[in-house]
Amino acid sequence: MTNFQKGSKKLLNAWAFYDWANSVYTLTIASSIFPIFYSALFLTDDELVSAFGFEMKPTVLISVITAFTFLVVAFTSPILSGIADYVGNKKNFMKFFCYVGGLGCIGLYWFSLDYIHLSLLFYFMGLIGYWGSLVFYNSYLPDIAFEDQQDSISAKGFSLGYIGSVLLLILNLGMVMYPEMFGFDIGTTEEAHNLAKIEAMKISFITVGLWWIIFSQYTFHVLPKGVSSGHKVTKDVIFNGFQELKLVWKELKQNLRLKRYLYAFFVFSMAVQTIMLMAVYFGEKEIEWATDGEKTIGLIGSILVIQLVAILGAVLTSKASAKFGNIKTLIVINFIWMGLCFYAYFMITPIQFYIAAGLVGLVMGGVQALGRSTYSKFLPETEDTTSYFSFYDVAEKIGIVIGMTIFAVVDQISTMRYAILFLFVFFLIGIILLFRVPKENP
C-alpha cells in the first residue's frame, strides 16, 4: 500500500471519510430511530423497566447504561492507547472498535424487554464501538494534517458525517413511515401497521451497522498503519497508557493555555453531549404531539433539521474561528447553548421543538469541530499525539459520565425538564473558564 505524505489531499479526505461511515450511528441509533423504537416498547409514560435488580424510568435506564459505557471507554482508552503506541498499530484498534460497534447496531434488531440484559449488551457494543474508535481516529489528526489544515479538515469530517448520516436517515425514515413501499406486510389493522413500522425500525439498525463497516474500509485502506515495533505486549505495556497520562498531566502544568482550555472543554462538553444523547427522549416524552404518527415524523424530522443546519454551523464556526479566534468563538457558542437550556425547559409544542432543533444544529456542529481542532492546535510539539488525544478523550468521557449521571438522578426524582434546565450551570462555568484561557503560554 502506498504511504501518502502528511497534508496530502487523499490522506486528509480518507481520514475525514470515516465521519461519513460512523456518523450514521449517532444519527439513527443514538439520536433518532432507536429512541423512538425504545419508547414504543412501553405501554404508558409511567411504566417502569426492571433491570439489574432495580426498577426505574426507561429514560433513566438508558442514561445509566450510557454513563457506564463512557466510564468503560474512559478506563480502557489509556490502556489501549499505551498498547497502540508501543506496538505502533493504532489502526487495528480503530478497526476493532468499528467492527464491535457495527455488529452491536446489527444486534439491536433483536432488542426486546423480554431479554433486556442481552439487548442492553448490543446497545453497549454500539456505543463503545463508536466512542472507542474515535479515540484513535481523533489521534490521527495531527499526524495527517498540518496545523493550518486542522480546523478545515476537522470541519470537513463533521460535514461529511452529517451528509452521509442524513442520506441513510432519509431512507430509514421512508421505511418507517411507508413500510408497504419497502415490502413490509402492513396488514389491514392499525396494530399490524404499527408492527410493520417497528420491524422497519429494526431493519434500519442493520443498515446502520452495514453502512458503518462497509464505508470505513476506504479510510482503513489509506490511513497509515504506524511503525510496528515487533515487541510483545507485557503487563508493563498494558498500564503504560496510564503512565503516559501522568506524563501528559505533568506536561500540562507547564502549558497553562492547554490546561485551562481542557478545564473548560471538560465542563461544557459534558453538557453538550448529555443534551445530544437525550434530546429525542426529551422530545418523545415532554412535547405534546397530536398523534403517534406526528410524533415519529416530528422527532426524526427535527433530527434531520439539526443535521442539515449543522453542516452550515460547522462551516460558519470554522470561518468565525479564523476571523475572531477559537476561544472567542467557543464562548459565543456556549452562551447560545446556555440559552437553549432555559428555552427547552418551557418547550411544549412541536413548533417550539423545531425551533430548538434549528438552533441546536447551528451550535452542535460548531462546538464539536472547534472543540477537537482547538485542542489539536494548542498541543506542544510532540510525536506522541495518541497520548494527548487519549487524555482529551478521557476528559470528555468522564465529563459525559458525570453529566449523564446527574441527568439520570434529576430525571428520576423529578422530570426531564428540570434535568435539561440544570445543565445551564455547566455552560456558565465553561464560559467563565474559557475567559481564563490565555492567548499565549506565559
282-307 tens-digit pLDDT: 888 888 888 777 888 888 888 878 87
Question: What pLDDT was estimated at residue 247?
Answer: 80
Domain residues for 24? 9-226+235-435
For the segment 19-37, what is each residue's pLDDT rounded down to a tens digit?
Answer: 999 989 988 888 788 888 8
Residue % of the chain over a pLDDT of 70? 91
The SS3 call for residue 71 is helix
Mean pLDDT of 240-247: 74
Q: Which stretch of 1-15, 156-170, 208-222 has the lowest confidence by average pLDDT?
A: 1-15
Question: What pLDDT was estimated at residue 109?
Answer: 94
In this prediction, residue 336 has a pLDDT band, given cuts at 50, 70 and 90, of very high
In this prediction, residue 59 has a pLDDT band, given cuts at 50, 70 and 90, of confident
Q: Which stretch of 48-52, 94-98, 187-191, 276-280 has the lowest confidence by average pLDDT?
A: 187-191
Question: What pLDDT was estimated at residue 185?
Answer: 74
Residue 208 exposure: Cα atoms within 13 Å on the Cβ side: 41
Mean pLDDT of 45-53: 76
CA distance 372 to 141: 9
Residue % of the chain over a pLDDT of 90? 20
Question: What pLDDT was estimated at residue 86?
Answer: 66
Per DSSP, helices labelled H in 223-349 are 235-238, 240-252, 256-286, 292-324, 326-346
CB 259 within 8 A of CB 252: yes
Q: Of all helices (H) and strands (E), which one includes residue 99?
A: helix 90-107
2 located within any domain: no
- Tell whether the model's pLDDT for residue 383 goes beyond 60: yes
258 located within any domain: yes
- With a CB cutoff of 8 Å and minimum separation 6, the contacts of 409 are none
Mean pLDDT of 211-215: 96
| Reduced 3-state DSSP string for 323-373 | HHCHHHHHHHHHHHHHHHHHHHHHCCCHHHHHHHHHHHHHHHHHHHHHHHH
Q: Which stretch of 210-214, 308-312, 404-408 has the lowest confidence by average pLDDT?
A: 308-312
442 located within any domain: no
440 located within any domain: no
CA distance 131 to 110: 22
Mean pLDDT of 251-264: 83
For the segment 73-118, what is each residue's pLDDT rounded down to a tens digit?
Answer: 888 877 776 676 666 677 888 899 999 999 999 999 999 888 889 9
- Tell whether the model's pLDDT for residue 442 goes beyond 60: no
CA distance 353 to 119: 30
Question: What pLDDT was estimated at residue 1?
Answer: 45
CA distance 372 to 135: 12
CA distance 166 to 170: 6
- Tell whether the model's pLDDT for residue 364 goes beyond 50: yes
- Tell whether the model's pLDDT for residue 349 goes beyond 70: yes
To the nearest 10 degrees (0 to 180), the angle between helices 116-139 and 9-24 is: 160
Torsion of CA 24, 28, 31, 33, to 10 degrees: 180
420 located within any domain: yes
Phi-psi region of 406 (alpha: psi -120 to 50; beta: other; left: phi over 0): alpha
Q: Which stretch of 43-52, 110-119, 249-258 has the lowest confidence by average pLDDT?
A: 43-52
3 located within any domain: no
Place of cell 465542563: 267
Mean pLDDT of 62-82: 82
Mean pLDDT of 269-290: 85
pTM: 0.78
CA distance 47 to 56: 9
1 located within any domain: no
Question: What pLDDT was estimated at residue 384?
Answer: 64
- Tell whether the model's pLDDT for residue 168 goes beyond 80: yes
CATH number at residue 209: 1.20.1250.20
Q: Which stretch of 229-233, 248-252, 428-432 has the lowest confidence by average pLDDT?
A: 229-233
Question: What pLDDT was estimated at residue 386?
Answer: 65
Q: What's the total number of domains in the chain? A: 1
247 located within any domain: yes
Question: What pLDDT was estimated at residue 193?
Answer: 75
